[in-house]
Amino acid sequence: MGYLSCNAESTIKVCDPGNWDYYRKKPKKNKPRIRQFRYTDLLTATNGFSSDSFLGKGSHGSVYKAVLDDGKLITAVKKTSKNCNSPADNEIEILSRVDHPRLVNLIGYCSDSLCKNKLIVVEYMPNGSLYDLLHSSSCKPPGWSSRVRFALQVAKAVQALHSGSPPVIHRDIKSSNVLIDQRWNARLGDFGLALIGHVEDVRIKCTPPAGTLGYLDPSYLSPSDVSTKSDVFSYGILLLEIISGRHAIDLKYSPPSVVDWAVPLIKGGDFAAICDGRVGPPVDEEVIRSLAVLAARCVRSAAEKRPGMEEVVECLTVVSKRVHAGPVWSNLRRCVRCVHKPMAINHPVFEGSEEAARSSRCGSRRNSRKVW
Ligand SMILES: Nc1ncnc2c1ncn2[C@@H]1O[C@H](COP(=O)(O)OP(=O)(O)OP(=O)(O)O)[C@@H](O)[C@H]1O
């Protein structure tokens, strides 16, 4: 049996601790060794889980900064609340099988008799979350190149999960689960709700729907609806949040849901209207057009019509090049056969010939189809 909990931030979580032995296999050879920590060492490393080491609180417990190995290793320790049905086993199980530069990776865990619930030790992310960066009034809102970079980094993290063998479905993609590392790169964390395996697996088919309100795929109503496309929907909400600086659900707006507000504007071609007013639209109009259309495709109600994460990464890679190239890309003509990929007529490949640009194609049939 699963359980349902709802916290102040409207997070609905349905967890089924279940028996993971069915999936337990040897970790990949190149995966760093998962360490087992002693409770007493973690107690020392966090100054007795003191308020000075406290990093934040989530729906399942608190997170503390822990300094280990004589100060050489700084980590974050997740301590589950006493009465909480712990998702720690699930998180350890999944994180011990994946390792990627765009994820908040597992370092180890503690399960000795002194601690009541398992403690998870993960990489420490010193620069807060993407939620803080987008919504905090105390810091300067990120510009377009940072926004596109974060969007691409998260997309790569989700793509890595979906293309794993077996694949991982995260089920809780949201800006507060995207943490920022010491180099200001985005990392996807919090695998408490993640599922590993193929959708036809019994275990997956028996796990009730879960996620966070505002990000949850409306077509994910029963266990059998689960698929990687539910993550694509949540990613689309995150992308709309990155573009607009709006919360996924915000009662100050009408309509409160970012999807219901943004999608009609995108369909009407009013891309500037969905841009975060604090930074205004990007100089290159094609950047916001591509981002907005991609986000709208990710949140389509029919799951099968949403793009896969590979396509999302491809599209954002192109956008990222444009946004970083700046003025070089401002002199553009659209490829005659392609809606998505504009061609720079001053690019060396065309040797300045507009005729050459006109007769060229991007070669992608997919990109030439109608968007809506
Ligand atoms: N690896 C980490 N490094 C630094 N801070 C972290 C780390 N993991 C979590 N935190 C901080 O701890 C707080 C709680 O994180 P946690 O993942 O438990 O919950 P959440 O994602 O905020 O909410 P929910 O549990 O509802 O999904 C957050 O404010 C987060 O920024």
ipTM of the complex: 0.95
Structural domain containing residue 213:
128-326
Q: Ligand 1, closest atom to CA 129?
A: 31
The answer as to whether 320 is a domain residue is: yes
Domain co-membership, 147 together with 168: yes
Residue 161 pLDDT: 97
CATH code of residue 102: 3.30.200.20
277 located within any domain: yes
Residue nearest to atom 24 of ligand 1 (CA): 58
172 is an active site residue? yes
Residue 173 falls inside a structural domain: yes
Nearest protein Cα to ligand 1, atom 12: 56
Residues 100 and 174 in one domain: no
Is residue 111 domain-shared with residue 245, that is, in the same domain? Answer: no
In terms of phi and psi (left: phi > 0; alpha: psi -120 to 50; beta: otherwise), the region of 263 is alpha
144 alpha carbon to ligand 1 midpoint, in Å?
A: 25
Q: What is the pLDDT of residues 267-316, one digit of tens each?
A: 999 999 999 999 999 999 999 999 999 999 999 999 999 999 999 999 99
Tally of domains in the chain: 2
| Strands lying side by side in the sheet with 11-15 | 3-6, 11-15, 211-212
What per-residue confidence (pLDDT) applies to 29? Answer: 55
Quote the pTM value.
Answer: 0.81
Give CA–CA dist 52/34, Å, rounded: 27
pLDDT of residue 328: 53
Q: Which of 172, 217, 276, 284 is catalytic?
A: 172
64 CA distance to ligand 1 middle (Å)? 9
Residue 357 resides in a domain:
no
330 C-alpha vs ligand 1 centroid, how far in Å? Answer: 40
Q: Are residues 111 and 154 in the same domain?
A: no
Residue 219 inside a domain? The answer is yes
- The string of pLDDT tens digits covering residues 129-183 is 999 999 998 889 999 999 999 999 999 999 999 999 899 999 999 999 999 999 9
Residue 83: per-residue pLDDT:
56
The pLDDT averaged over each successive group of 10 residues in the chain (372 residues) is 34 36 42 86 96 91 94 92 68 91 96 82 97 94 97 98 94 97 97 87 79 93 88 98 97 94 97 97 96 98 97 98 72 43 35 32 34 36
User: Do 297 and 154 fall within a single domain?
Assistant: yes
Asked if 155 and 235 touch (Cβ cutoff 8 Å), the reply is yes
Closest residue (by CA) to atom 29 of ligand 1?
56
Query: Does 49 map to a domain?
Result: yes
| Ligand 1: lining residues by beta carbon, under 6 Å | 7, 11, 55-60, 63, 76, 104, 122-125, 128-129, 176-177, 179, 189-190
Please indicate, yes or no, whether residues 161 and 73 belong to a single structural domain of this protein: no
Q: Where is the binding site for ATP, in residues?
A: 79
CA-nearest residue, atom 18 of ligand 1: 58
Based on the fold, state whether residues 43 and 69 are members of the same structural domain: yes
